Amino acid sequence: MYLRKSILLVFVFLVPVSLFSQETKFAVHNYSAGVSKLEITTQSNAFNVVVFAGDEGCLLVDTGDLKTSADLKQKISELWKMNVKYIVNTHLHNDHMGGNGQFHPEAAIITHANVPIRLNTGLNIVQDVHENDMPDLMPENKLTLKFNGQIIEIHAVPPAHTDTDMLVYFPEAKILCVGDVFLKNCYPLVDTQGGGNVSNFTKVVKNIIESYPADVTLITGHGDDLHMQDLKNYYKMIVESTALVNDLSKANKDAQEAGVKEINEKWDQTWGQSFLSTGGWIRSVATSFSPQTKKESVIVPLYPFIKSGDMAGTLNKYKELHKTSRDRYDFGEGQLNFLGYNLLSKNRVQDAIIIFQLNQEMYPDAVNVYDSLGEAFEEAGDLNSAAMNYQKAVALGEKAQDRNIELYQKNLKRVTLKIKKSTSVK
């Protein structure tokens, strides 16, 4: 199981689903001074793309995902009859920069400086960004762009949702694009594998409150627009709930258990009703207080072997480093899991199996490694091996009262059904 997958699962229930159409739906919202928002809805996801149009052409904030990008391009030329000259990405997630390739290289891509680092070192899981579509411009801190007779302010912020977060401000329209740093009715979403950081959220949110006009409209990465008062409420909730979890941790209490009740009563109705539950938020905060490993991911030294397809070399290097450099590199269970999903996302299914098997060898008692391996086998069409691994995940998960047990059971059920179907066909 990979984190973003569970977020996606929540999405499925949030978005109105039509069982009969697979098509992409576009809702257009027009603001002042040439700014519009395209709300894109598919069967499984919903996200926003901002279009700023004028005499010189279009600038996009985010490009949605790869699957919808051809439709997006068509929609833009239909509605604005102009070429896209710039793309600014609020961060490196599939459903925000997956469509870049559709407009690049005619359009210049502007991203946070960490984007190419993540794309080049194997520390990304974004299958939809091709290596030809590397960013053209990366502001150190702030970039002011003159386009269509207006000024656009692009601001790279400290790692919060990911370590590639940027804000985009249109002063004339008084519109600020905040990406996934702030979503309606949602606790902060922290992608730790993507470099996100709970403790920076207060800083980043406070900075927005202090730096932009009180009547600014906030366009988010998913869902409805928000306003300064919403952001102030968000800030208050983050400050108070992190302080509460901090106090509980200091008092050596189980933050999860003691915190849930109090935080639930106070905030669940407002903030816990979309992508992240109250329990999930407390977990994020509690983990951020525990001593962080400052070690570099073992993926970085492995990546040259991975990139050239040398899997034997990858295994040898991993084992060598595990003997010699455990102080230097992070060998946690999550590292190979992340790498395996990276390979799966690039359709290197057999290589993913090799990596997940290595993880299983290193962490034979970890529940999730069996589920991940099951998923890779399922993708490879080896349903019996998939079922075997899902079974193991369910058995271990039940014993450990794993919080993802329902997902493991669901996977096992699905693959068992597939096996039944395939044998009855024969």
Q: Closest separation between CB of residue 47 and Zn ion, Å?
A: 6
Q: Token digits for 203?
A: 């800083």
CA-wise closest residue to 279 among 268, 289, 288: 268
Tell me the per-residue interface mask from 164 to 203 with Zn ion, x by CB under 5 A, - otherwise.
----------------x-----------------------
Q: Closest separation between CB of residue 275 and Zn ion, Å?
A: 9
CA-wise closest residue to 61 among 93, 86, 32: 86
Q: Closest separation between CB of residue 156 and Zn ion, Å?
A: 16
* Amino acid residing at 252: N
Q: Is 371 in the site for Zn ion (CB under 5 A)?
A: no
Q: How many residues bind Zn ion (CB under 5 A)?
A: 3
Report the residue number, 163 or 180, with the smaller CB distance to Zn ion. Answer: 180
Residue 271 near residue 186 (C-beta atoms within 8 A): yes
Report the residue number, 40 or 76, with the smaller CB distance to Zn ion. Answer: 40
Dist. CA 60–CA 177, nearest whole Å: 11
Residue 55 burial (CB < 10 Å; 0-12/13-18/19+)? exposed
Q: Closest separation between CB of residue 132 and Zn ion, Å?
A: 23
CA-wise closest residue to 99 among 75, 81, 79, 72: 72
Dist. CA 137–CA 108, nearest whole Å: 7
Report the residue number, 45 or 102, with the smaller CB distance to Zn ion. Answer: 45
Report the residue number, 126 or 336, with the smaller CB distance to Zn ion. Answer: 126
Report the residue number, 84 or 126, with the smaller CB distance to Zn ion. Answer: 126
Strands lying side by side in the sheet with 175-179: 142-147, 150-156, 166-170, 175-179, 217-220, 226-227
Report the residue number, 34 or 194, with the smaller CB distance to Zn ion. Answer: 194
Q: Closest separation between CB of residue 93 and Zn ion, Å?
A: 4
Instruction: Compute CA 365 distance to the chain's CA centroid, rounded to the nearest angstrom.
Output: 27
CA distances in angstroms from 373 to 36, 306, 356, 378, listed in the order given:
43, 18, 5, 9
Residue 314 near residue 306 (C-beta atoms within 8 A): yes
Which range in 88-96, 141-149, 151-159, 337-345 contacts Zn ion by CB under 5 A? 88-96
Report the residue number, 188 or 221, with the smaller CB distance to Zn ion. Answer: 221
Q: Closest separation between CB of residue 255 and Zn ion, Å?
A: 25
Interaction residues for Zn ion, span 212-241 (CB under 5 A): 221
Write down the residue that tokens 């193991």 correspond to.
Answer: 392
Q: Closest separation between CB of residue 96 and Zn ion, Å?
A: 6
Tell me the per-residue interface mask from 90 to 119 with Zn ion, x by CB under 5 A, - otherwise.
---x--------------------------
Report the residue number, 274 or 359, with the smaller CB distance to Zn ion. Answer: 274
Binding site for Zn ion (CB under 5 A): 93, 180, 221
